[in-house]
Structure 1
């Protein structure tokens, strides 16, 4: 029998499952996003992911180990770093050999002077900061002056925050395009991110109109799928992460549950190809804000929607759940953490309780998708398709 006709790949952003062997190099010894969350809240109630083998990957408080209907394992990251960009690009076959530049002291003056000259305004900030904290600090000044807020983090990002009534979205996106043109070569950050917000008098809330402007790092499995005439649908920030390369269609989302809704919508209409979603709330709302209770609720909320996704699957669909890095909310810092990521797979004609083991690279996922659809794998990675292929009904 031929391979799966559709692959539904959902990235549970930042849901790592234990420190990698090189975690000490990143200051992340002891990081275990899902495991530490479960301990922090007492127990994690995720019966549907448990059925797919989550508890067999790593002991998690409250998550049983059997029975399992599907395949399970974990993946190590080979790329340098622990960012969204690194993780997602490695999934589709690109290993980033060198860390992307970061700016713990803020961006150099020559970059900021050129940026301000080209946008015609001064800026505020220019330092590493929490996205919510910098709005508390500089939001009112931004409202008074009209100057956009520029900030970064431990990741390779240039973030521009602006109130939607002070700097309209189109103008903010234009600023991001200018920054993307400037930030190349040695200053080639992984992403420029638009961070619009609303509110007044120190009470500000970021909106769902975020946009990411990513560097392109080469040809991927997504390009091969597109060239073969297959649909590649990006849901959430997927289209932005890959700069639209290899994406045939896509939609941004409001939050995790909207991401699930959009995934279900595309499952009704896409006949063949890859439906690729990122659910970012785990990371943005809870991981970076050191909120293990909120993170746990978000995981359990997604688990409660998983039966809808399974029910919407066709006989020849493959569901894959994974993550792109960790963001352990129980650790002292607010940054991403260098962790293994879980892989859970399910198909209605897949054998049960398949342990795919610990994969050497995230790129094994892209290689598996390539083999399933019979397209070349332009990058690294070893397919595990033969372990999880469809069985005769």
Structure 2
């Protein structure tokens, strides 16, 4: 069986009940990535509407569709966070009791001394910063000194920016691996991220295609259960990075959303028996954090236009053991909101199989319902969190 999951990174569908306690005052209460983007841009999403997007509770601004063919709902995030790692880990059955470490005042001397000792460099910045602004403000000094630019955000990340003409990319990756070894235990962060950039001041630009994430290793997940059951697990985009490459039989690199969509569509059309798991990161990285509603809306329209091609690759029950497609999101990043950080929102949930009618999946109690559903569909044993809704998709 071919089961495909596509994560529309940060396409949240409304503030969670506890959203006001997340983010800088006044918090994330009232955020709504999808609604606010549609209202700001007038983006048209007819194919997602036919899957039931406009039927999701709290989603407004979508045209009425008389003949919905798809499963629709939204998901609560149980884990105390609003970042990529927290959301994706919960998808595959890991509910965090405590949030990942964040460092709103920058990293302490114990971390930075260990980093400089391991790398033989100094460092610049070491405080929360926007990724585009930090290279604008510290890039010229970095060119003079060669010292890496270290910064964080409201998320649990240690980010290292370096110019490609100053620091070879493999050197940057080595520095990230050294930081990953240091950032364990009391200083553990969810991800260490390599952020190479290029160009000249003041027009530096990030080399997103060379970004690399170094994640904490998760406990056993549904992905491990699938591999134990003999199923393939194919990670597309940054998905393998998020799980520290654990539980994958194949990894496919992507440069951006169009590349991710194209490679996912292509791989769906080839033989496999198991899970194809893709993340489309541009919504978040290029448009949400940069508070760019127009770019966000255009990216949504581009995905909507590609959706029929994706649906065409989902086999019916008489072909290759059948197939299914889920379209989900891991958190919000409302491009109309204050600041530049993620927003604490419900996760989107849309599902499709050939011949499906309109199916209301309601409000799921946890993101882990996704993993439980995949496990049941693919015949893997999973006894962790999550309630499968596979029977509703048959």
Matched, 1:321 2:327: yes
Matched, 1:348 2:354: yes
Match of 1:112 in 2: 112
Match of 1:48 in 2: 47
| 1:24-63 paired onto structure 2 within 5 Å | 24-26=20-22, 27-41=27-41, 43-57=42-56, 58-63=58-63
Contact 2:79–2:90 under 8 Å retained in 1: yes
Contact 1:53–1:66 under 8 Å retained in 2: no
Q: 2:63 and 2:156 mapped to 1: Cα distance?
A: 34
Match of 1:375 in 2: 380
Q: Which SS does the other structure have where 2:210 is aligned?
A: coil
- 1:14 alignment partner, one of 7, 10, 20: 10
| Residue deviations 1:44-65 (CA, integer Å, cap 9, x gap) | 3000000000000033214334
Q: Which SS does the other structure have where 1:226 is aligned?
A: helix
Q: How much does 1:367 deviate? A: 0.3
Q: 2:196 and 2:100 mapped to 1: Cα distance?
A: 24
Match of 2:236 in 1: 235
Contact 2:13–2:59 under 8 Å retained in 1: no
Question: Residue 138 and residue 36 in structure 1: after superposition, are their counterparts in 2 closer, same or farther (change >3 A)?
Answer: same
| Residue deviations 1:322-347 (CA, integer Å, cap 9, x gap) | 10000001111111011001111011
Aligned pairs, number:
383
Matched, 1:23 2:19: yes
| Residue deviations 1:79-99 (CA, integer Å, cap 9, x gap) | 011000000000000001101
Match of 2:202 in 1: 202
Match of 1:307 in 2: 308
Q: 1:36 and 1:231 mapped to 2: Cα distance?
A: 38
Contact 2:123–2:148 under 8 Å retained in 1: yes
Match of 2:188 in 1: 188
Q: 1:187 and 1:119 mapped to 2: Cα distance?
A: 18
TM-score (norm 1): 0.96
| Residue deviations 1:176-226 (CA, integer Å, cap 9, x gap) | 111000001111100000111111122111111111111122100000111
Q: Which runs of 4+ in 1 moved over 6 A?
A: none
Matched, 1:335 2:334: no
Q: Which SS does the other structure have where 2:78 is aligned?
A: coil
Give me the CA root mean square deviation: 1.0
Q: How much does 1:378 deviate? A: 4.2
Q: How much does 1:66 deviate? A: 3.5
Q: Which consecutive residues of structure 2, in runs of 5 or more, have no partner in the other structure?
A: 317-321
